[in-house]
Amino acid sequence: MTNNDLKLIKYLYECEFLTRKQIYDYVLSDITNRQVRNILSKLKSFNFIKYLRNPFQFSNEEYIYVVDYFAESSLMMTGTFKQFKKMCDEFNLNYIDLDKYRMFKTETFNNRTHDYFLNNVRFMLEDIGAKNWIPEYIIRQNDSYKNNKKGHIKKVPDGIIKGTNNIAIELERTLKTPSRYLDIFNKYKKEKEEK
């Protein structure tokens, strides 16, 4: 496994799916398109990733790319966990334990348009140096975001940029009323005060 292989697998786990354009333009933009095609082909042949028919009508790409079901066991068998951490350090990326990642659920593409655009937002933020992205489903695993003693479910953002002061990222594709936004900010404020 090369560092670029592991970098792509990291992004596929965290973004849950990517288009070829997203991979070319953001994830592996520092190598040639031919090298990217070779990486995709190699990872597919060893069951680390798989191609799915593109469900998005607004995108003219034939496939989207996801982590294959066998990727986790393959990563464990090849002993790449230490190499994965080293790759994160080399590319200045936020390290997340491989065992915290989950598989992309392919049964439905409901609400996946939101995720497609959220991935683009993440990449735009990374372009300006915000590389410490934590996806929503990883945030939910943190004890501080689980139900509190009173049984209230905390507001979980679409992602967090980890830093001295964490920044919550919410992508809204439809305009909400001002009171709805105020409610979201009040929930965040209340949770901060409870800490």
pLDDT of 107:
55
pLDDT of 57:
82
What pTM was estimated for this model as a whole? Answer: 0.85
Domain positions in the chain: 1-129, 132-195
Most confident of 33-47, 51-65, 132-146: 33-47
Reported as a single tens digit per residue, the pLDDT across 33-55 is 999 999 999 999 998 999 998 88
Lowest mean pLDDT among 22-31, 44-53, 65-74, 180-189: 180-189
**Rounded to whole angstroms, how far apart are CA atoms 4 and 96?**
17
pLDDT at 103 over 80: no
**Rounded to whole angstroms, how far apart are CA atoms 152 and 62?**
43
User: What CATH architecture does domain 1-129 belong to?
Assistant: Orthogonal Bundle (1.10)
Mean pLDDT estimate for the chain: 85
**Rounded to whole angstroms, how far apart are CA atoms 42 and 37?**
9
pLDDT, greater one: 9 or 142: 9
The answer to whether the beta carbons of residues 120 and 23 sit under 8 Å apart is no
Lowest mean pLDDT among 22-26, 30-34, 92-96, 145-149: 145-149
